[in-house]
Structure 1
Amino acid sequence: MIYTEGQTWETGYSGQLTINNDGDAALTDWTIEFTLPDGAEVTSLWNAELQTSGGTYIVTPPSWGADVPAGGSYGIGFNGSFSGGETAPVTCLINDAPCSGEAPDDTEAPTAPTALTATATTATSITLDWDAATDNVAVAGYEILDGTGEVVRALVGDTTSATVGGLSPDTEYTHTVRAYDAAGNRSAASAAVTTRTETDNGGDPSGPGDDRRVGYFTQWGIYARDYLVKDVDTSGTAEKLTHINYAFANVSADGQCFMANQTGEGDAYADYGRSFSAADSVDGTADSWSQDLRGNFNQLRELKEKHPHLRVHISIGGWTWSKNLSDAALTQDSREQMVSSCIDMYLRGNLPVIDGAGGTGAAAGVFDGIDLDWEWPGSAGHPDNTYRPEDKENFTALVQEFRDQLDALATETGQDYQLTSFMAADPEKIEAGYEVAALMEDFDFITLQGYDFHGAWEDTTNHQSNLTPIPNDPGPRTYSMQETVQAYVDRGADPADMVMGVPFYSRGWTGVPAGPDGDGLHQSATGAASGPYEDGIDDYKNIKDLSGYTLYRDEAAGTAWLYDGTTFWTYDDPTAMEQKVAWAKQQGLGGIMAWSLDGDDAQGSLITAIDAALEQP
């Protein structure tokens, strides 16, 4: 492995670690450990995971893997700060062997990239394209630099397009791009391009603000949780949302959307059969036995009448109901059948008659779009769910079919129908299941899983929704929103088209010792903490008032947790929500999504904190 230094500026510099594999087999696992001179430190690193132990930096493959092929190389870039003097590593080991520090017999730099242009802009991002550089051996990747010469994006491979996010609206930015090879030689920078970002972020024009505020309403929340559509109104939540996703629509074994079947699956009673009293109705009027639409669907229609800016999407799939989606997406015929059945049932509103409710057009006007929640294409989800390697391309084709049929319906009705999707956080699942660039052509926006990173299915306490990597995270897998967002951006997503998910619930363990810091974090547990609906999980509205617990925070990661010496709950309170929103805005993301609205308290404290933070300049 070799180290090469890149650009330097007043208080910082960029560097690269390049692993050269001279063996005849791929290097599938590697660990780099290095130290820096006094006054120098790593401030950000890409293409790998970074942990620190004392003054030693420990670099390991990213969570989605980074095999170094036989005869090939792999580059890891970083930005650092220094106070003068040397910046090169003082000590360096790779897999416990000394780094060679010697470059291959290649001292020729690549040619400079040409024809750098800005091909797309939003209020918070700029997409750049360029013509490829050439090299006497091979170009290993590219670096995008800002107007000060600092590296703001580093790319591995032959890609010649990238999006720079986290920018400010209506602001000029200057960028250049340069190429590098496996020996660490860097080209001269391309000609500079100066671009001004848009004045707004392209969010929905109506509603409480430009940023999207999406909340999931769960069909089953009206039972044990006693959370009704009316509560979305009385808590003040409805006026702060732009979208409600109704969870979930079911897909049958033969690939069609359905409300309820002969085996008892589905709950058409909650959807449109239940009669709500005047006290439980949004409009204060009791349902009558003769209505063709009752239940949650009718309440959602009343909610939209009271809050015209709201859009309501039907969410298809979910953890349990994704089990038939791989089959439904398998062929062109099956995709057409599934999409047609879902649009007919939810957007045209043609419901089967059950207990006197339903019929042709009964639910027309309730739903404004489709939200796809396939967990997960190409990867395991619920134990009963089917998945295949070909799900990746089939999901793209399914999304295209939805887009085509929605566009045709829009032409027919004169209405606008949106198409969104809930997407995985795990970079391995992203790689296995999504052709991101192609998908983003058809989605209005996507929401990212920003929670369930850890839970009581593991025997060690941890954060479930951290923004940034956690030092000394014990795993078994490490996650952070930073890595998730970067994985999508690297594959062609615009940050402004991504909405970050946040949890309105907590994950908990019991039998937890205090540990060296006394806070219970990263400690072995004997099991899941007791919960009212299932062990290991509870709503924010219940967690917030626990007595006998001490509150802890990681400000940078936007996490909070409660610990009483035995039980540990990782959760998000209003302060953590404000931290998460601030981070999402810095990344140029397009808003916030909450799972799920029934976890908030009667005053809507979490959504209020989110709304206030989004409104901040």
Structure 2
Amino acid sequence: MRTSGSAVAAHDAASPAPRRRHRRLLVAAAASAALLATVPAAAEAGTPRPVAQQGSDGGKQFVGYFTQWGITSGFYEKNLITSGEIGNLTELDYAFGGVAPDGTCTSTDPSADYQLPFTAAQSVDGRADRPGQALAGNFNQLRELKAKYPKLKIVMAIGGWTGSGRFSALAQTAAGRRAFVASCIDQYIRGDIPGLRPHAAAGIFDGLSVDWEYPDQPGAGNPYSAQDIPDYTALLQEFRTQLDAASAGTDRHYLLTADTAPFPQLAGQLQLAQLTQYVDWLNVMTFDVYGSLEPNGPTDFSSGLYPDPRDPYPPVYQFDIANTVTFYESQGVAPGKIAISVPYYAHYWTGVAPGPNGDGLFQTATGGGTTMNYNQETGEPGTTYFDPAAGEPYKYDAASQTFYSYDSPASVALKGRYVWQQGLRGAMVWSMDGDTADGRLTAALGRSLRNP
């Protein structure tokens, strides 16, 4: 997952691992074409519509990531309201809490999290933070957001691509797991942030999400071992145990989710059927598949829904969301425990020849692995295409020989309908600041997640 260790750092564009072997699901292109026929014209055109807060109407889960560092580029919690995105979300995940050297939960940027004063123009409630108030920063804005939208769940995500380096060590012993989980609950559930008044952040977070990238894999150059696999299950069990204890005697249920790899060779190492006893669901990171690790191409879809039979990769190296879901289910994961993931950004390649069809698809490149937000991609020149087999758009600019893989209102609507067809839990998106100012992607995905 793209992430950053501080609010002033640029996000990393990270593809988690080389292509991994997995069994191929032969899905007819007609299935995608049939889905495409059901997309409303407004979704295809990207026309946003105001919607009511969802969550109690039987719709699916819609989890949106809000980045800690987004405020440095002017994306505040208030933007979720002005864009209309907030009305579609059932859950907002805050990225990221970190792991301290002593194996306890910690803030990766205290200023952004709870110290930085917001002006009246920046704040959710339209009032400037006061000097000396108990809580400021993003956390206070999340509290104001929750007061305005009480059905919205807010979850603290811990780890991320650049923040997973200490998981392996802390999870090795029962004592280490207990201490880590207890510190996370103290800070984010009970609201006892070190250096602040007792319970200053109480009542903001409705649960925790573990984003360990990845057990028994180096990820971003992290320590790892085979023992990570059972330790990961034990860590999630410890989270579930302590979260349940924190809710004892109340009518609350604290959410526990985990972000997991889409590649079967990574996910297949996990004790999937066992660990799903402890989580409410898994956010399977079905994006970043082709891009940063293929700088010379071939150009391909970074988050295709179905396979395209023209894909030049050998079948064992091909990827699509349908294959991933099938694999997870084959490992004993119930559909209701799976949420697919949708990117609000584009991967793009340069030095791409037009190829026989003149569209740059499945062609070699001289440079790739770069990303930009969807709201930036929409302003780039080029011809937009839609692949009915993959259920995914792409853009090619012949003048600059640039190829873009991304999601559009049409493709996210297809993915929402796929969630319904397969009986999945919902969808997660990374990240909310990547959408347009009028929330086109979120509006299209929200509609499809509310209505089968």
TM-score range, shorter chain: 0.7 to 0.9
Per-residue CA deviation, residues 51-96 of structure 1 (Å, 9 max, x unaligned), is: xxxxxxxxxxx95468xxxxxxxxx99899xxxxxxxxxxxxxxxx
Q: CA deviation at 1:584?
A: 2.2
1:496 equivalent among 336, 341, 353:
336
Q: CA deviation at 1:616?
A: 2.9
Q: What SS does the aligned partner of 2:242 have? A: helix
Q: Are 1:232 and 2:74 matched, yes or no?
A: no
**Cα 1:228–1:209 shift into 2, 3 Å:** farther
The percentage of aligned residue pairs carrying the same residue is: 42
Q: CA deviation at 1:205?
A: 8.9
Aligned mates of 2:334, 2:172 — CA distance in 1? 28
Q: Are 1:244 and 2:92 matched, yes or no?
A: yes
Q: What SS does the aligned partner of 2:384 have? A: strand
Per-residue CA deviation, residues 208-240 of structure 1 (Å, 9 max, x unaligned), is: 64310100000011113x110000111111121
Q: Are 1:546 and 2:359 matched, yes or no?
A: no
Per-residue CA deviation, residues 333-362 of structure 1 (Å, 9 max, x unaligned), is: 110011011111111111122xxxx23111
1:374 equivalent among 178, 196, 212:
212
Aligned mates of 2:26, 2:84 — CA distance in 1? 45
Aligned mates of 1:544, 1:276 — CA distance in 2? 30
Q: What SS does the aligned partner of 1:536 have? A: strand
Q: Which has the higher strand share?
A: 1
Q: Are 1:555 and 2:398 matched, yes or no?
A: no
**Contact between 1:208 and 1:242, CA under 8 Å: does it hold in 2?**
no
**Contact between 2:289 and 2:303, CA under 8 Å: does it hold in 1?**
yes
Counting only pairs closer than 5 Å after superposition, residues 412-491 of structure 1 correspond to structure 2 as 414-432=251-269, 434-458=270-294, 459-460=296-297, 461-475=299-313, 477-491=317-331
**Contact between 1:207 and 1:239, CA under 8 Å: does it hold in 2?**
no
Cα RMSD (Å) of the superposition? 2.1
Query: Structure 2: which amino acid aligns with 1:228?
Result: Y
**Contact between 2:59 and 2:450, CA under 8 Å: does it hold in 1?**
no
Aligned mates of 2:142, 2:371 — CA distance in 1? 27
Q: CA deviation at 1:556?
A: 3.0
Q: Are 1:615 and 2:444 matched, yes or no?
A: no
Structure 2's unaligned 5+ residue stretches are: 1-18, 29-52
Q: Which moved more, 1:421-430 or 1:407-416?
A: 407-416
Counting only pairs closer than 5 Å after superposition, residues 509-524 of structure 1 correspond to structure 2 as 509-524=349-364
* Greater Rg by CA: 1
Q: What SS does the aligned partner of 2:248 have? A: helix
Q: CA deviation at 1:615?
A: 2.9
Q: Which residue of 2 aligns with 1:276?
A: 118
Q: CA deviation at 1:207?
A: 4.5
Query: Structure 1: which amino acid aligns with 2:309?
Result: P
Per-residue CA deviation, residues 557-610 of structure 1 (Å, 9 max, x unaligned), is: 221111112011101110111122122222211111111000001111111001
**Contact between 1:317 and 1:373, CA under 8 Å: does it hold in 2?**
yes
Aligned mates of 2:407, 2:235 — CA distance in 1? 35
Per-residue CA deviation, residues 163-190 of structure 1 (Å, 9 max, x unaligned), is: xxxxxxxxxxxxxxxxxxxxxxxxxxxx
Query: Structure 1: which amino acid aligns with 2:229?
Result: K
**Contact between 1:207 and 1:241, CA under 8 Å: does it hold in 2?**
no
Query: Structure 1: which amino acid aligns with 2:290?
Result: H
Q: CA deviation at 1:502?
A: 0.3
Per-residue CA deviation, residues 490-532 of structure 1 (Å, 9 max, x unaligned), is: 111111221111001010111111111111111111113xxxx
Q: What SS does the aligned partner of 2:96 have? A: strand
**Cα 1:526–1:609 shift into 2, 3 Å:** same
Paired residues, number: 404
TM-score, normalised with respect to structure 1:
0.63
Structure 1's unaligned 5+ residue stretches are: 1-61, 67-75, 81-203, 260-265, 529-534
Q: Which residue of 1 aligns with 2:144?
A: 302
**Contact between 1:247 and 1:314, CA under 8 Å: does it hold in 2?**
yes
Aligned mates of 1:563, 1:411 — CA distance in 2? 55
Q: Are 1:333 and 2:175 matched, yes or no?
A: yes
TM-score, normalised with respect to structure 2:
0.85
Q: What SS does the aligned partner of 2:161 have? A: helix
**Contact between 1:208 and 1:240, CA under 8 Å: does it hold in 2?**
no
Q: CA deviation at 1:206?
A: 3.8
**Cα 1:589–1:79 shift into 2, 3 Å:** closer
**Cα 1:337–1:563 shift into 2, 3 Å:** same
**Cα 1:289–1:562 shift into 2, 3 Å:** same
Q: CA deviation at 1:468?
A: 1.5
Q: What SS does the aligned partner of 1:319 have? A: coil
Q: Which residue of 1 aligns with 2:48?
A: none
Aligned mates of 1:579, 1:78 — CA distance in 2? 18
1:258 equivalent among 89, 102, 106:
106
Q: CA deviation at 1:450?
A: 1.5
Aligned mates of 2:64, 2:324 — CA distance in 1? 20
Aligned mates of 1:212, 1:579 — CA distance in 2? 16
Q: CA deviation at 1:413?
A: 5.0
Q: Which residue of 1 aligns with 2:33?
A: none
Q: Which has the higher helix share?
A: 2
